[in-house]
Amino acid sequence: MNLNIPKKIEKMLQKINSAGYEAYIVGGCVRDCFLKRQPQDWDITTSAEPEQIKKIFNRTYDTGLQHGTVTVSWEGEHYEVTTYRIEGKYDDCRHPNTVIFTKNLKEDLQRRDFTINAIAYHPQQGIKDYFLGQKHIEQKIIKGVGNAEERFQEDALRMLRALRFSAQLGFEIEQSTYQALQQKKELIKKISVERIHDELEKMLLSEYLEKINLLWKSGLLNEISPIVSNNMEQYGEEIIKQMKKAPFDRIIRWTIFLQYVEIKQGETFLKYLKFDNYTIKTVVMLLKHLKDDIALEEYELRKKANEMTVEQLKRLLLIHNIQQKQNIEQLQQYFDKILQRGDCITLKTLAVTGEDLIKEGMKKGKEIGEMLYFLLDIVHRNPEKNTKEILLYCAKEK
C-alpha cells in the first residue's frame, strides 16, 4: 500500500538513505495518512545518529539531542528527525532516565504509546507495522503498545492522550487499555498542569465530543479536579450536547464546560491549569453574565456591549442561542441592527471627549469621567443624540 506523502518528505528520506542509513516517516503522520486526514507534522525516525544527521543536512538545530532529536530545515520547513532509540526507566512518569540508540526499527516502535502511532512508512520499503496498528485503525480502536499499564507508568500523560485521540478520531479505547488507565489514573498528578491544560483543550475542541465523557467516567478528571468531575457526572451529557452545537471557539467551549460549576470554583480551576489572564478573565465574565437574562431592549444590549465588549456579547448571545434562552432571536436581531447602524457603544465613539468638556469650562478630575459616562448613558438610551452639540448641551444642563 502506498501512502500519499509530500515530495519534499520523500526527497528528505532519500537523502538520508543515500548516506547509508534507514529513514521512515512515523507516528501520527502515518496514522493520519491512513485516515485520509492532513497530518499536522511529519516526523522522521532513522538509524542515523544526531551527529550523522547534522552532517547530511546543511541547516539543523539541536532541539532534543538528549532524546536523539535534531530539527532539520528543509525546503522552507522544519522537521524533527529522531534516531531509533530504546528508553530506560521513567522515574518521573514523563521522561526516560536514559536513552540508548539502536539500529533496530522494531525496538524503536515498541516504546511508543499506542499501536495506531507505532507504524512507520517508506515509499520504497513500505509499511512497517509490528503491533497491528493498521488493523486497529480499521477497527477504530486505541490500544497500548504491549502492556498498557507499563506504557502509562512510563508516561502518565499518555492516559489523557488516549482520551484525546478518542475524542479527535471517534475511536473506542480498547478494554485492557481502558482498564490500565483506570488502574494508573492517580499518576496524572505527576504531570505538569500545562500539559494537562493542553490535552484538555484539545479534547474540548475535538470533533467527537460524545467521547469526552470518558474523562470523568474513567475517574481521570477526579484526579485533576474532584469539584469539576462531580459537576460533570451530574451535568456532563447536557454540556456535551451544548458543545456539539458550539463553534470551534476555545472561549465558548470552556464557558460551556464550566457553566454549572460555581464561578469562583471555575476561576480556581482555570488558574490551577495556568490559563492566560485573558482567557480566565473572559471565561469568568461570560460565566457571570450567563446566569442573568438580558432585557429585551436595545438600551440594555448597548449597555452590556460596553460592559463586556462587542466580541464577548456576541459570544454570550451565541451561547444563549445554543441554550435556547427566551427571546434570544429578537435579542440577536436587535444586536445585529445596533452593529449595522454603528451605534455608539463605548466612550471611544462618543461624540465628545474629556478635552471638549474642559474647553467648556469643566475642571479636570473625576467629574470629567463621571460626566462622560453620564453622556454615554444618554446615547445608549438615544443613539441619535450622539452629536457634539447635543451632548455639550446635556452636560451644561446637568
Within a domain: 280: no
The CA-CA-CA angle for residues 362, 366, 370, to 5°, reads 80
Helical (H) or strand (E) element with 98: none
pLDDT at 361: 85
**Residue ending a domain, choose from 70, 105, 139:** 139
Within a 10 A sphere around the Cβ of 232, how many other Cβ atoms? 24
On whether both 4 and 99 belong to a single domain, the answer is yes
In order along its 398 residues, the chain shows pLDDT tens digits of 789 999 999 999 999 999 999 999 999 999 999 999 999 999 999 999 999 999 999 999 998 888 899 999 999 999 999 999 998 777 777 777 888 999 999 999 999 999 999 999 999 999 999 999 999 999 999 999 999 999 999 999 999 999 999 999 999 999 999 999 999 999 999 999 999 999 999 999 999 999 999 999 999 999 999 999 999 999 999 999 999 999 999 999 999 999 999 999 999 999 999 999 999 999 999 999 998 888 899 999 999 999 999 999 999 999 999 998 878 999 999 999 999 999 999 999 999 999 999 988 888 888 999 999 999 999 999 999 999 999 999 998 87
Claim to verify: residue 4 and residue 75 sit in the same structural domain: yes
- Whether residue 87 lies inside any domain: the answer is yes
Same domain, 327 and 360: no
Question: Is the separation of the CB atoms in 142 and 171 below 8 Å?
Answer: yes
**How would you classify the pairing of strands 43-46 and 77-83?**
parallel
Which residue type, as a one-letter code, is found at position 316?
A: L
Rg from Cα positions in the chain: 28
Query: For residue 302, is it within any domain?
Result: yes
| Co-location of 22 and 84 in the same domain | yes
Three-state DSSP at 114 gives strand
* 385 plus 352 within the same structural domain: yes
Residue 134: the pLDDT is 98
Angstrom distance (rounded) from CA 350 to CA 371: 12
Which residue, of 80, 115, 139, is where some domain finishes? 139
Do 336 and 301 lie in one domain? The reply is yes
Of 182, 188, 238, the closest CA to residue 210 belongs to 238
Q: Cα(156)–Cα(151) distance, rounded to whole angstroms?
A: 8
Q: Is residue 192 part of a domain?
A: no
> Is residue 153 in some structural domain?
no
In this structure, is residue 310 part of a structural domain?
Answer: yes
In the prediction, which pLDDT does 362 show? 83
Map residue 293 onto helix, strand or coil.
Answer: coil
Domains contained in the chain, number = 3
Residues 6 or more apart in contact with residue 229 via CB below 8 angstroms? 216, 219, 221, 222
Last residue of a domain, one of 91, 123, 139: 139
**pLDDT score for 39:** 95
Strand extents, DSSP E, 227-344: none
Residue 345 phi/psi, 5-degree rounding, is: -115, -40
Quote the domain boundaries for residue 297: 292-341
Q: Which amino acid is at 96?
A: P
pTM for this model (two decimals): 0.90
Regarding whether 54 and 128 lie in a shared domain, the answer is yes
Asked whether residue 29 falls in the same domain as residue 60, the answer is: yes
Task: Report the alpha-carbon distance of residue 350 to residue 330 in Å, rounded.
Answer: 26
Cα gap 18→317, rounded to integer Å: 59
CA distances from 162 to 173, 203, 249, 274, 335 (A): 7, 10, 23, 22, 42
Nearest-5° Cα angle at 60, 55 to 62: 105
Using alpha carbons, select from 237, 231, 232, 253 the residue that is nearest to residue 319. Answer: 253
- Helix or strand run (H / E) with residue 300: helix 298-308
Residues 10 and 98 in one domain: yes
Phi first, then psi: give them for residue 252, nearest 5 degrees. Answer: -65, -45
**Is 268 a domain residue?**
no
Q: Report d(CA 100, CA 81) in Å as an integer.
A: 16
Q: Same domain, yes or no, for 57 and 128?
A: yes
Same domain, 37 and 112: yes
Answer yes or no: is 156 within a domain: no
30/11 same-domain check: yes
